[in-house]
Amino acid sequence: MKSSLDGMAPNWRQRLTLPRGMRDAINGVDFNRFRFWLQIFFFVLLVYGGFTGLNLGNNLPTFSCGYNQNGRPGVCYLLPLQHQLAMPTKALLGYASLTILSGLFIFFLWFIVLNKGWCGFVCPLGTVQDWITDLRVKMGARFTRYSQASFETLSWIKYVLLALMIVIPLGIGAGYFSHDLGAPYCMICPARLIIPTLALNFDQLVLDFSSPGKIVMTTLGAITTGLFLAGSFVKKRFWCFFCPMSAFHYLLSKPAFFRLIKDGDKCTRCGDCYTVCDLQIKEIADDVKNPQIMMDDCIVCLKCVAACPEQGALKATFAGRTVFESTEEGFIKRMEKGTRA
Amino acid sequence: MNGPFNSGKPVVPEPSPQSAGASPRARKPKEPLPFGKTKQAREAEKVLNHIVDDFDDNPKAMDYFYDLFRRVYCRGETIAPDGPLIGTTCIQAPEELIYAMGATPVRLCNGSYHYDQIGAEFMPSKSCSLVKATLGMLTSDDPVPRVGKLDLVVNPTTCDQKKKASAMMQDMGHAVFDLELPNVKESEASRVYWQRSVRSFAEEIRKVTGKKLTRKNLKAALARTQRAEKAFRVLDGFRKASPSIFLGKDAFLVVNAYFFDNLDNWCEAVERLNDELKIRYDNAVRAAQKKAPRIVFTGSPPIFPNLKLPLLIERAGGVVVSDETCSANRMLYDMTAVDEWLVNDMVDSLADKYLKPCTCPIFTKNDDRRRRLLELVKKFEADGIVYQAFAGCQVYEMEQRSVAKTLDENGIPMLYVETDYSPDDEGQLSTRIEAFLESIKTRKRMRQ
Tens-of-pLDDT digits for all 341 residues of chain A? 333 334 444 444 444 443 457 888 888 889 999 999 999 999 999 999 999 999 999 999 999 999 999 999 999 999 999 999 999 988 988 888 999 999 999 999 999 999 999 999 999 999 999 999 999 999 999 999 999 999 999 999 999 999 999 999 999 999 999 999 999 999 999 999 999 999 999 999 999 999 999 999 999 999 999 999 999 999 999 999 999 999 999 999 999 999 999 999 999 999 999 999 999 999 999 999 999 999 999 999 999 999 999 999 999 999 989 999 999 999 999 999 999 87
CA–CA separation, A244 and A161 (whole Å): 6
In chain A, what residues touch B334 (CB-CB under 8 Å)?
268, 270, 309
Partner-chain contact B340 A303, CB within 8 Å: no
Number of other residues whose CB lies within 10 A of the CB of residue B281 = 18
Task: State the pLDDT confidence band at B149, using cuts at 50, 70 and 90.
Answer: confident
Nearest to B353 among A270, A288, A340 (CB): A270
Which residues on adjacent β-strands are paired with residue A260?
A: A316
Nearest to A54 by CA among A68, A71, A29, A37: A71
H/E segment holding residue B69: helix B63-69
Beta bridge partners of B415: B386
Nearest chain A CA: its distance from B232 CA (Å): 12
Question: pLDDT above 70 covers what percent of chain B?
Answer: 93
**Chain A residues whose beta carbon lies within 8 Å of the beta carbon of residue B278:** 16
Residue B241 to residue A12, Cβ atoms within 8 A: yes
DSSP 3-state of B270: helix
Residue A272 and residue B341: Cβ atoms within 8 Å? no
Smallest Cβ distance to A269: which of B237, B368, B378? B368
pLDDT-derived band of residue B30, with 50, 70 and 90 as boundaries?
Answer: low
Task: Report yes or no: A283 at the B interface, CB cutoff 8 Å.
Answer: no
Cα(B64)–Cα(B253) distance, integer angstroms = 11
Residues pairing with B295 in the sheet:
B320, B384
Peptide bond into B15 cis (omega under 30): no
Tell me, what's the ipTM? 0.88
Look at residue B266 and tell me whether its pLDDT is greater than 60. yes
Residue B305 has pLDDT above 60, yes or no: yes
Instruction: Give the model confidence (pLDDT) of B163-222 as tens digits.
Output: 999 999 999 999 999 999 999 999 999 999 999 999 999 999 999 999 999 999 999 999
State residue B27's pLDDT score. 61
At residue B40, the pLDDT reads 87
**A265 reaches B (C-beta below 8 A):** yes
Q: Looking at A175-184, B75-84, B136-145, B209-218, which range is the least confident one?
A: B136-145
| Residue B285 in contact with partner chain A when CB distance is under 8 A | no
B10 confidence band (pLDDT: 50, 70, 90): very low
User: Among A73-82, B7-16, B38-47, B267-276, where is mean pLDDT lowest?
Assistant: B7-16
- What are the residues whose beta carbons fall under 8 Å from the beta carbon of A75, sequence distance 6 or more? A57, A58, A59, A60, A64, A65, A66
Q: Which of A148, A270, A309 sits opposite B356 (nearest CB)?
A: A270
- State how far the Cα of B62 lies from the Cα of B39, in Å rounded to an integer: 25
User: Confidence band (pLDDT; 50, 70, 90) for B8?
Assistant: very low
Predicted confidence at residue B38, as pLDDT, reads 85
Q: What is the pLDDT of residue B35?
A: 78
What 3 state SS string does chain A have? CCCCCCCCCCCHHHHHHCCCCHHHHHHCCCHHHHHHHHHHHHHHHHHHHHHHCCCCCCCECCCCCCCCCCCCCCCECHHHHHHHHCCCHHHHHCCHHHHHHHHHHHHHHHHHHHCCHHHHHHCHHHHHHHHHHHHHHHCCCCCCCCCHHHHHHHCCHHHHHHHHHHHHHHHHHCCCCCHHHCCHHHHHCHHHHHHHHHCCCCCCCCCCCCCHHHHHHHHHHHHHHHHHHHHHHHCCCCHHHHCHHHHHHHHHCCCCCEEEEECHHHCCCCCHHHHHCCCCCCHHHHCCCCCECCCCCCCCCCHHHHCCCCCCCEEEEECCEEEEECCHHHHHHHHHHHHHC
Neighbours of A251 (CB within 10 A): 10
Average pLDDT, chain B: 91
138-177 in chain A: CB under 8 A from chain B: 140, 142-143, 147-148
pLDDT, residue A17, reads 40
Q: Does residue B15 register a pLDDT over 90?
A: no
Task: Specify the pLDDT at position A26.
Answer: 86
Residue B189: its chain A contacts at CB < 8 A?
Answer: 148
pLDDT at A10: 46
Band of residue B28 on the pLDDT scale cut at 50, 70, 90: low
Which among A147, A268, A308 is the nearest to B372, CB-wise? A268
